[in-house]
Chains A and B, each alone.
Chain A
Amino acid sequence: MKRISRYRRHKAAGPFLLLFALFAIGTTFNVASATTSAETTAADRSVQIEEGRQIFLKGCSSCHGLNAEGAQIAPSLIGVGAASVDFQVGTGRMPLAEMSAQAMRKDPIYSPEETAALAAYVATLAPGPAIPAESSLNFERDGSTAEGGELFRNNCAMCHNFAGQGGALSQGKYAPTLMGVEPKHIYEAMVTGPQSMPVFSDKTITTEEKMSIIKWIKAAESEPNLGGASLGRVGPVTEGLLGWVLGLGMLIGVAVWLAMKAR
């Protein structure tokens, strides 16, 4: 103790103590908040809904309205369903970081438990698409890659690119890449139609067909690049750029060297 107290008048002691205190508070808070229970039984369902309402009032109501009725800057959430909340909040798109052309994917702000509570609350406002059960998302068993590819080319490839890499829409909006997106979120996006994306209802593209689409996307994700660098798999744009800049540049360099006189 004596050895430590010797340094108490050192000029770095103040900042060090401050850092230490911040660190200690941060870690203990994290440990404390991580211990909150996540179990959802029928009994504490109302507790979860109430918790979701509290989170909604704090985090969402300033844009979406106190009763989720929507406002000038944000749509109504009545009837969007739990699936929509799980997609928007679970992929970090909501809450918005800024008012831009489109909400971007980022690390989720809310924990899975808080997201579930929010979804449970919004689902009570009016009936809407529910979050699919984990057991119903067995795309490996229920899907067919070939059929999924056909469906993808008919319905998804125009916006999300033929290899699921995403693409541009109008006015700064874009269709995001599908690589690395969880099957649950892909499914929820198809049934809820987030942002610019239209709804692909279960009647026109059945649940099994959606599993096929997910299976195809997962197959595209693990597709090896046998031909070398994939160049983003966006086709002629990067390939042409590389051909014109690097290929022609090298040819010009060689031509200049060919014509140079040896000394």
Chain B
Amino acid sequence: MSNEIEAIQDPGLPAHVHRKADTDPAAANRAERQVAILFGISALGTVLLIVSYIFIPDDLFIFIPVMGNQNAHQLGLGLGMAISLFFIGMGAIHWAKTLMPDTEVVAQRHELRSPDSDRKDFVDAVKSGAGAAGLGRRSLIKRSLGAALGLSALSPLLLLRDLGPLPGKELEKTSWKSGTYLVTDPGNRRIKDSDLEVGAVAQVLPEIADPEHRKLSDIAKDAVLLIRLRPQEFNLEADKLAMTHDGIIAFSKICSHMGCAVALYEQQTKHLLCPCHQSTFDVTRGAKVIFGPSARPLPQLDITIDDEGYLVARQPFSEPVGPSFWERNSQ
């Protein structure tokens, strides 16, 4: 047995197999008719589009099984355009595949390098052009052009500033302060503790002087969910229990995972769910995470009532609300 590796012979191109349409004129005529039919269907699609546009009223709704009730005008336009474009393509491909020449053609690659004479002509042209423009003599033009070009490169760099500025301490602050009233959203009405029955929830915001111009970026941090349970249902440490008022507990509505609005409150299980990634918080245990990707409980707001019974924040949030961020003191 020989250890030498045999050189693989170039097998060359496979033998050309003729299509039916190449050999049989009847098959070629059939293929021609098929292509014509495909183009014809496309033309019908365009007609459908025109007819739908002109004659089908745009408020006509028809019922189509599986798809349901829908607007006949839009359906006609869409179907017409889809048929018209798709069948042009299909006809062209079928034409190319059955009737156009299908013999393999070999095209040799030419050399990439330009001929020497062309290269010399190019260098001469650049040199004579530069000489005619007088770049060597008119140094004022040369320098001012250089300065202009260099400065213009600064503008894209300047726009990079829009990536910033860094939020600084903004993410750690909310509008809640000591003594801020809780108000309904929307409505901006103060809430009394007696307004909430056991089992009730309410979304609240901090009261501000100009509620008509509340910033969305503030709402995204300030939103709080009020929940009322029976006081004996809580299973909290003493300091957290002191932050509730007569069964009313207030949590930041912003999920500590990715910042979605946590508000799927299951009244029977006392679980709060985040709709985005199914983090589940146990309200009776201070929004402890019992399922899902969230790493921390929802921050709890310290609430009490004023002399008239209106709910009011006793302190701002003691930790940043919402998801983790780079500079957050993780805990």
Residue positions of A touching B, CB distance < 8 A: 147, 150-151, 154-155, 158-159, 167, 169-171, 173, 175, 193, 195-201, 203-206, 209, 224-230, 257-258, 260-263
* Contact status A169-B74, CB under 8 Å: no
With A154-B186, A262-B98 known to touch, is A198 a contact of B265 (CB < 8 Å)? Answer: yes
Evaluate contact between B74 and A228: CB separation under 8 angstroms: yes
Known A-B contacts A150-B186, A200-B201, A262-B98; the reply to A229 vs B70 at CB < 8 A is yes
One of B41-49, B152-160, B166-174, B191-199 at the interface: B191-199
A204 to B197, CA, bound (A): 10
User: Given the complex, which residues of B lie within 8 Å of A230, measured CB to CB?
Assistant: 68
Contact with A along B264-295 (1 / 0, CB 8 A): 11111101010100101000000000010000
Q: Give the distance in Å from the alpha carbon of A263 to the alpha carbon of B195 in the complex.
A: 80
A257 to B92, CA, bound (A): 13
Q: Is the CB of B258 closer than 8 A to any CB of chain A?
A: no
Q: Are B70 and A228 in contact (CB under 8 A)?
A: yes
For chain B, which range describes its interface: under 10, 10 to 19, 20 to 34, or 35 or more residues? 35 or more
Contact, CB under 8 Å: A193 / B199: yes
Contacts A147-B186, A158-B261, A262-B97 given: A198-B267 contact, CB under 8 Å?
Answer: yes
The reply to whether A196 and B266 contact each other, CB–CB distance below 8 Å, is yes
With A173-B266, A198-B201, A263-B20 known as contacts, the answer to whether A158 contacts B275 (CB < 8 A) is: yes
Known A-B contacts A169-B264, A225-B70, A228-B67; the reply to A198 vs B61 at CB < 8 A is no
Q: Is B145 an interface residue (CB 8 A)?
A: no
In the bound assembly, the distance between CA atoms of A197 and B278 in angstroms comes to: 17
**Which secondary structure characterizes the binding site on chain A?**
loop
Name the prevailing secondary structure of the B interface residues.
mixed
Of the candidates B19, B70, B268, B278, the one whose C-beta lies within 8 Å of that of A195 is B268
The answer, yes or no, to whether B175 is at the interface (CB within 8 Å) is no
Which residues of B are in contact with A by a Cβ distance under 8 Å?
19-21, 61, 66-71, 74-75, 78, 93, 97-98, 102, 184-187, 191-192, 194-203, 227, 261, 263-269, 271, 273, 275, 278, 280, 291
Tell whether, in the assembled complex, residue B195 and residue A203 are in contact, meaning their CB atoms are under 8 Å apart: yes
Among A204, A226, A258: residue with most chain B CB under 10 A:
A204
Residue of A nearest to B19 (CB): A262
Q: How far is the CA of A257 from the CA of B202 in the complex (A)?
A: 58
CA–CA, A200 and B265, complex, Å: 12
B200-A196 in contact (CB<8A): no
Could you name 20 residue pairs across A and B whose Cβ atoms are closer than 8 Å? A154-B186, A155-B203, A158-B275, A167-B275, A195-B267, A195-B268, A196-B267, A198-B267, A199-B198, A200-B200, A204-B191, A204-B200, A206-B187, A225-B68, A225-B71, A226-B71, A227-B74, A228-B78, A262-B19, A263-B19
Q: Judge whether B187 and A209 touch: CB under 8 Å.
A: yes
Which residue of chain B has its CB nearest to the CB of A196? B266
Chain B residues with CB under 8 A of A258: 93
Alpha-carbon gap, A227 to B58, bound state (A): 12
